């Protein structure tokens, strides 16, 4: 298969769904980790192809969604300062803090710019030496190499007007938090293929063994996802709990070693708070002391900034797989893409955004 149409072939999808129906003998709960996978499942109606015994649970696989309110408020405080150019990916601009979002700051005259890479922010810093340029470094392990490269390059160039506000989170500790929870509902995981393309699969083997849970590294198109589901169901029905790779065309067991080395050079593992979930030990990246001069939180002294989350937003339960978006009382009423209560409604990978776009007129199955 070389072209995207082949990964969306209806006959192949139906054949895989049939194989799943023939394999399953009892109910199973499968969690897809990545928000991109969630959007593909909802957009293409893959859950409707599956036998009723298979329940797909949407996990915390959206880094924008799990960025805590306190960090959004820090971003707002920095972006509102005179002399600052605040750079971010576009989907962060609508994410609500405790009182407003980055679009609100921009509407009042703040210099908030959408960029497509942290290296774009480096260019802006070079072109504006008299101003502070801050990049909002949000993401899973997937985007960490590019952000590490930007910081490393800034240090080499002695670019003193550049810094990053770091909100990097790591997937394996989040999966362990879900598995260790007394509310655990998950029988198997569809792991995020793009994360594993960087980090490999080594960190997942201890989780599979400790919690006796199948973990299948899966890509993002309909055929990929159905094949990943079939691999999970096969393991569950056979009593196996292994790490398998559906995304063989891209993911290698050891991942991308040069990218990992760059991450390790610039970042260190830190505890991180996840929006709607709380603190998870060792679940994030933070800048090493050698690169502390590029830490925007320190540079602008905003580490104590932060307010509460909306009490009406239940995105934390959605992110933990305990609630489907349409089961939230605020969904499509008090919470819409134009007036979101939480990040899951505005992020391009948010589960609530996927259901609002594709399912808001349908009953919960």
CATH class, range 4-62+172-241: alpha beta
Nearest to 93 by CA among 83, 85, 82, 105: 105
pLDDT value of residue 308: 79
What pLDDT shows up at residue 334?
A: 92
With b for 16 or more beta-carbon neighbours within 10 A and e for fewer, the 20-53 pattern comes to: beebbeeebbbbbbbbbbbbbbbebebeebbeee
Cβ burial, residue 266 (10 Å; 0-12/13-18/19+)? buried
Asked whether 325 and 317 are in contact (CB, 8 A), the reply is no
Q: How do the domains of the chain map onto residue ranges? A: 4-62+172-241
Query: And the tokens for 3?
Result: 């072209």
Neighbours of 164 (CB within 10 A): 28
Average pLDDT over residues 86-107: 93
Compute the distance between CA of residue 332 and CA of residue 343 in angstroms, rounded to an integer: 14
Q: Is the pLDDT of residue 182 over 80?
A: yes
Q: How far apart are CA 59 and CA 72, in angstroms?
A: 21
- pLDDT confidence band for 275 (50 / 70 / 90): confident
Residue pLDDT, tens place only, 147-178? 999 999 999 999 999 999 999 999 999 999 99
Closest CA to 354 of 56, 8, 102: 56
User: Per-residue pLDDT for 54 more than 90?
Assistant: yes
pLDDT band (50, 70, 90) for residue 2 = low
Contact criterion met (CB below 8 Å) for 195 and 179? no
Would the CA dihedral through 31, 32, 34, 36 be positive or negative?
negative
């Amino acid at each position: 298969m070389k072209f995207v149409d082949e990964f969306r072939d209806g006959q192949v999808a139906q054949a895989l769904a049939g194989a799943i129906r023939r394999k399953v003998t009892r109910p199973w709960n499968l969690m897809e980790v990545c928000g991109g996978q969630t959007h593909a499942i909802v957009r293409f109606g893959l859950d409707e192809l599956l036998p009723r015994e298979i329940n797909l649970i949407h996990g915390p696989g959206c880094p924008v969604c799990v960025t805590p309110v306190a960090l959004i408020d820090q971003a707002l405080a920095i972006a509102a300062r005179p002399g600052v150019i605040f750079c971010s990916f576009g989907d962060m601009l609508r994410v609500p803090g405790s009182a407003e979002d980055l679009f609100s700051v921009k509407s009042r005259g703040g210099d908030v710019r959408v960029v497509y890479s942290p290296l774009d922010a480096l260019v802006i810093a070079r072109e504006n030496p008299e101003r502070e340029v801050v990049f909002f470094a949000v993401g899973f392990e997937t985007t960490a190499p590019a952000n590490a490269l930007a910081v490393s390059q800034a240090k080499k160039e002695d670019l003193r007007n550049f810094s990053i506000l770091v909100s990097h989170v790591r997937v394996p500790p989040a999966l362990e938090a879900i598995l260790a929870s007394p509310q655990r509902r998950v029988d198997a995981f569809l792991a995020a293929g793009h994360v594993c393309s960087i980090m490999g699969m080594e960190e997942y083997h201890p989780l599979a063994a400790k919690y006796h849970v199948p973990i299948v590294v899966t890509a993002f198109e309909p055929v990929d996802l159905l094949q990943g589901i079939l691999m999970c169901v096969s393991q569950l029905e056979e009593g196996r709990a292994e790490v398998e790779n559906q995304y063989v065309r891209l993911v290698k067991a050891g991942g991308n070693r040069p990218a990992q080395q760059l991450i390790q050079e610039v970042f260190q593992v830190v505890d991180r708070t996840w929006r709607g979930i709380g603190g998870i030990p060792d679940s994030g990246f933070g800048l090493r002391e050698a690169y502390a001069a590029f830490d925007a939180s320190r540079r602008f002294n905003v580490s104590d900034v932060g307010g509460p989350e909306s009490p009406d937003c239940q995105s934390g339960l959605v992110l933990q797989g305990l609630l489907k978006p349409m089961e939230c009382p605020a969904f499509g009423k008090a919470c819409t893409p134009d007036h979101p209560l939480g990040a899951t409604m505005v992020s391009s990978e948010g589960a609530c955004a996927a259901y609002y776009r594709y399912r808001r007129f349908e009953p919960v199955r």
